[in-house]
């Protein structure tokens, strides 16, 4: 991690926190901090990504503004985290996509949808596009199977590669060593990540979000979103197996496994992002950098819209609107894949990496 203003701020904050330690019980950041007396740039990147922004420390801090020490750890770490996303982005020249990320994500999505729409219209005559298609292969009558596979495969494949490269950049910089990896550390890290342990407070009372009172609302909405995402992903995986292994061609029945998984996932992806946006709107803005609002909001809206267009497609797939609805939904899905490595999505990867690093270094 390069030295920036946010990094220097984070270092001086950590030096004050390390002399205080009152917040030790809130999350993993403080025990990790206590293993150090000095903080390298990589250490600070690690700690910033370990921070879940639960804000417990902010409201408890006797050094929070207006105190002259001006300790506002959630804000300081959020600023630094955003810089780490840029720092580790792959390939390097695309790091700048994290500047004004809200705008970037919105533009890519708009362009993505437009391209798919235009492409579909070029590919198909209006008669085909606005006809009712039913039964096996109905979607592929509008957008041919091989086109869909090529587009989906290319964008998703690219996202996976870029995300892995970004993760490795983070992992190396945060001082992680694969050789020291033990199964119990992996288990611990995944358990902490999948349960959002550090948004749960010390005894399950939740975190200080959207305001000072502790609540589990954020954790619950995030679970809706994350597990919704995973269900939607599972739906796609099952459908792929249906298609390639069994030769069963989409669309599948309303009570088929891919549709049930996709519908449940889609509902999660409506409730989760909507809830998180609602909490964000009414949250205390003091412990958050205003400059990062765009990145957070754009990604939540993108997830919400991807899900919404998918569910609308499901509802109207047997009507003449299917062609256009399919093109719109595909536009959102492909845009989502393209922006994944350059969006708020990366926080999950680096957070899990930081939890793994923490599981490896802490005393068992």
Partner 1 sequence: MVDLAKTYDVLVVGGGNAALCAAITAREKGASVLILEHAPKPFRGGNSRHTRNLRCMHTEPTEVLTEAYLEEEYWDDLMRVTNGVTDERLARMAIRGSNGVGRWMEARGVRFQPSLGGTLNLSRTNAFFLGGGKALVNAYYATAERLGVEVLYETEVLDLEIDKGVFQWATVSCQGGEPVKVRAKTVVAASGGFQANLEWLKEYWGEAADNFIIRGTPYNKGRMLRNLLDKGATPVGDPRQCHAVAIDARAPQFDGGIVTRLDCVPFSIVVDKNAQRFYDEGEDFWPKRYAIWGRLVAQQPDQIAYAIIDSKAVTLFMPSVFPAVQADSIGELAAKLGLDTQALENTVAQYNAAVRPGNFDNSILDNCATEGLTPPKTHWARRIDEAPYYAYPLRPGITFTYLGVKVDEQARVVMEGGKPAKNIFATGEIMAGNVLGKGYLAGLGMTIGTVFGRIAGEEAAKNANH
Cβ proximity to partner 1: between 57 and 300 the closer is 57
Cβ proximity to partner 1: between 162 and 208 the closer is 208
Cross-strand partners of 215: 207
Minimum Å distance from CB 287 to partner 1? 13
User: Residue 176, exposed/middle/buried by CB under 10 A (0-12, 13-18, 19+)?
Assistant: buried
By residue count, the chain amounts to 364
**3-state SS assignment for residue 207:** strand
For tokens 């393209």, the residue is 338
Question: Which of 113, 7, 79, 87 lies closest to 295, judged by CA?
Answer: 79
What DSSP letter does each residue of 55-88 carry, written as one string?
A: -HHHHH-TTSTTSTT---HHHHHHHHHHHHHHHH
Cβ proximity to partner 1: between 201 and 268 the closer is 201
* Cis previous bond, 66, omega within 30: yes
Minimum Å distance from CB 86 to partner 1? 29
Count helices and strands (H / E) in the chain: 15, 0
Cβ proximity to partner 1: between 23 and 279 the closer is 23
Q: What are phi and psi of 17, to 5 degrees?
A: -60, -35
Minimum Å distance from CB 215 to partner 1? 13
Minimum Å distance from CB 14 to partner 1? 10
Minimum Å distance from CB 19 to partner 1? 4
Cβ proximity to partner 1: between 136 and 205 the closer is 205
CA distance 235 to 241: 10
Do the Cβ atoms of 23 and 64 come closer than 8 Å? no
Cβ proximity to partner 1: between 38 and 125 the closer is 38
Neighbouring CB atoms inside 10 A of 130's CB total 14
Minimum Å distance from CB 150 to partner 1? 54
Cβ proximity to partner 1: between 64 and 163 the closer is 64
Cβ proximity to partner 1: between 180 and 212 the closer is 212
Cross-strand partners of 256: none
Q: Which residues bind partner 1 (CB under 8 A)?
A: 15-16, 18-26, 31, 34, 37, 56-57, 59-69, 202-203, 205, 212-213
Minimum Å distance from CB 24 to partner 1? 5
Minimum Å distance from CB 200 to partner 1? 13
Cβ proximity to partner 1: between 27 and 330 the closer is 27
Instruction: Report in angstroms the alpha-carbon separations of 27 from 31, 143, 164, 219, 221.
Output: 8, 48, 26, 14, 20
Question: Which of 329, 341, 352 lies closest to 143, judged by CA?
Answer: 329
Q: What are phi and psi of 123, to 5 degrees?
A: -75, -40
Minimum Å distance from CB 165 to partner 1? 36
């Amino acid at each position: 991690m390069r030295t920036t203003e946010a990094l220097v701020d984070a270092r001086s904050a950590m030096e004050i926190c390390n002399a205080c330690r009152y917040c030790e019980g809130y999350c993993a950041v403080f025990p990790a901090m206590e293993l150090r007396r000095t903080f390298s740039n990589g250490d600070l990147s690690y700690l910033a990504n370990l921070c879940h922004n639960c804000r417990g420390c902010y409201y408890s801090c006797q050094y929070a503004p207006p105190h002259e020490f001006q300790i506002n750890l959630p804000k300081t770490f959020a600023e630094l985290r955003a810089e780490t996303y840029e720092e580790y982005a792959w390939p390097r020249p695309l790091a700048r996509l994290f500047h004004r990320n809200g705008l970037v994500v919105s533009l890519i999505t708009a362009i993505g949808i437009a391209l798919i729409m235009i492409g579909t219209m070029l590919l198909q005559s209006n008669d085909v596009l606005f006809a009712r298609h039913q039964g096996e292969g109905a979607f592929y009558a509008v957008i041919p199977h091989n086109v869909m596979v090529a587009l989906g495969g290319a964008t998703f494949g690219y996202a996976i590669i870029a995300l892995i490269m970004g993760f490795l950049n983070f992992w190396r910089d945060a001082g992680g060593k694969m050789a020291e990896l033990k199964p119990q550390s992996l288990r611990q890290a995944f358990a902490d990540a999948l349960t959002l342990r550090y948004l749960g407070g010390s005894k399950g009372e939740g975190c200080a979000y959207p305001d000072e009172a502790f609540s589990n609302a954020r954790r619950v909405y995030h679970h809706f979103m994350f597990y919704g995402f995973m269900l939607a992903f599972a739906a796609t995986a099952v459908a792929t197996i249906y298609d390639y292994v069994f030769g069963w061609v989409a669309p599948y029945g309303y009570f088929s496994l891919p549709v049930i998984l996709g519908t449940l996932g889609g509902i999660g992806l409506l409730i989760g992002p909507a809830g998180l946006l609602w909490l964000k709107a009414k949250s205390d803005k003091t412990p958050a950098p205003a400059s990062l609002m765009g990145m957070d909001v754009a990604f939540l809206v993108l997830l919400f819209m991807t899900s919404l267009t998918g569910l609308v497609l499901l509802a109207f797939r047997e009507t003449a609107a299917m062609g256009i609805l399919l093109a719109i939904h595909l536009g959102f899905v492909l845009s989502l894949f393209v922006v994944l490595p350059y969006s708020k999505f990366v926080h999950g990867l680096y957070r899990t990496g930081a939890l793994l690093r923490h599981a490896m270094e802490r005393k068992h």
